Amino acid sequence: VSPADGRILHFGRVQNCQVEQVKGITYSLETFFGPLNWRRPRTAAGRFCSRLLQREENDLYHCVIYLAPGDYHRFHSPSDWRIHHRRHFPGSLMSVNPGVAHWIKELFCHNERVVLTGDWHHGFFSLTAVGATNVGSIKIYCDKELRTNCACHVKGRFNDCSYTALLGPEGERVCKGVCLGEFNLGSTIVLIFEAPKDFAFSLTSGQRIKVGEALGTL
């Protein structure tokens, strides 16, 4: 289900390890996630997106939700899943307004962001909270150590926290709908997840959506 109130910017299958932030403008999954040193991939060979998959018969999907400054600024868990790892990328705080996203390639890779990765019933699952103009402050309620928009961080590096090391092999278990965190104002949520090939989005590009409304079905 939708983790936030906002507008659907883009959704679909991941093609060639590239994801569209808006129609025609892509970014690289490898740049977005950084090195895969936080998990043991199913296979060490092949393309980056293949190494994210836990089951060879599945595909990777993505969904981008834009939160305008006037939208409800908390975000919730879109599914029952286990969060194994958090990666914080200090970065720029450029606007993520759809008009800007049309002309800045890899915008979501330049901006400050917090990447939560783990798994759900169908394999790999991730939720990324992307900062925006004046919205470098991102809170994850289960992670009291996370500090974003802080001068102590160096752009171009990332800071990792292993929830499995802290909490055990299950990591942080979260249920669908539970409140995960918040932005100061509007920003963007990016979901990238594994699902069977018959997964189908029930969305249209540009539509308004509310927390808890269906994104797709199996």
Given the residues 10, 62, 76, 88, the one annotated as active site: 76
How far apart, in whole angstroms, are the C-alpha atoms of residue 161 and residue 137?
A: 18
The answer to whether 215 touches 26, Cβ cutoff 8 Å, is: no
Active site residue 76: yes
- Tell me how crowded residue 154 is: count the other CB atoms within 10 A of its CB: 9
Catalytic residue among 2, 77, 126, 187: 187
- Choosing from 5, 71, 119, 143, the catalytic residue is 5
DSSP letter for each residue of 159-205? EEEEHHHHH-TT-EEE-TT-EEEEESS--EEEEEEEE-TT-EE---T
Q: For residue 96, which of 146, 25, 182, 30 has the smallest C-alpha distance?
A: 25
Report, as residue numbers or ranges, the catalytic residues: 5, 76, 187
